[in-house]
Structure 1
Amino acid sequence: MVEQFVGTWKLTSSENFDDYMKAIGVGFATRQMGNMVKPNLLFSVDDGVVSMKSQSTFKTTETKFKLDEEFDETTADDRHTKTVITLENGKLVQKQTWDGKETTIERDIQDGKLVAKCIMNDVVSVRTYEREA
């Protein structure tokens, strides 16, 4: 049920994001910006294609995908990844692979909030978003 994610979500808390960005190889200047911005996440679904847009004053990126189909993604920090997004037990699970590395972002709805868990090896960052009215 991707539909539960549809809407606009505002970042309200971010834990350990700098360590996560370091773990995936983001440079210092980009990490500084990444730590300061509070992006909105916009989810929509059109004819089986999911759109996930991250909007901030620093950068706006949009990813369009179909569940379970690998696609080429250019991330906000300019990594070029092979990405697959699946729906597992109500969670959107995004796996990105590049240069022999892999990271996973699990998005879940908990208590009406969107919780994104970013995982790289043993580094975990949790970012929480609240739905905008």
Structure 2
Amino acid sequence: MEAFIGTWTFVESDNFEPYLKALGIAAPLRKLANLTTPTVIISDLGNGEYSVKTDAVVRSVVVTFKFGEKVGETTVDFRKVESVFTLEDDTLVWTSTDKNGLTTVVRRTISSEGIMLVEMEVRGITATAKFKKS
């Protein structure tokens, strides 16, 4: 988990609009989301507790978690979900399910170049993003 701790700035994304559409995000919010350059801050709070803060300029959200425990959160796009975080090998996996049973899986890995690679999947649609450590 240590490799993920820090502040990460957005570099680029691919297939993000179709991913947001598959989530059911309205067109105006999808357009706005594609204009933002989010910053992600991952922190070790101690006692096995971590936080992920996503600052998308127009909205900032923080989720605090312990591995394997369900937590309620409101996403950047205002959806209320229950999430579970796991660490599988060197991959930080964030699985979220909304009230309608729609499940999203976000996988984060760190490349040998120190880039955080993010893979987001919902309804068979996958988007990717890259972040560099600040």
Q: CA deviation at 1:122?
A: 1.7
Residue type at the aligned position of 2:10: L
The equivalent of 1:66 in structure 2 is 66
Matches within 5 A, 1:46-125: 46-47=45-46, 48-98=48-98, 99-111=100-112, 112-125=114-127
* Cα distance between partner residues in 2 of 1:68 and 1:107: 16
Seq. identity, %: 30
* Cα distance between partner residues in 1 of 2:23 and 2:56: 21
* Cα distance between partner residues in 1 of 2:126 and 2:34: 15
Structure 2 counterpart of 1:129, from 119, 128, 131 = 131
Residue type at the aligned position of 1:66: K
Deviates more, 1:3-12 or 1:49-58: 49-58
Residue type at the aligned position of 1:10: T
How many corresponding residue pairs?
Answer: 131
Gaps of at least 5 residues in structure 1 are none
* Cα distance between partner residues in 1 of 2:84 and 2:57: 27
Gaps of at least 5 residues in structure 2 are none
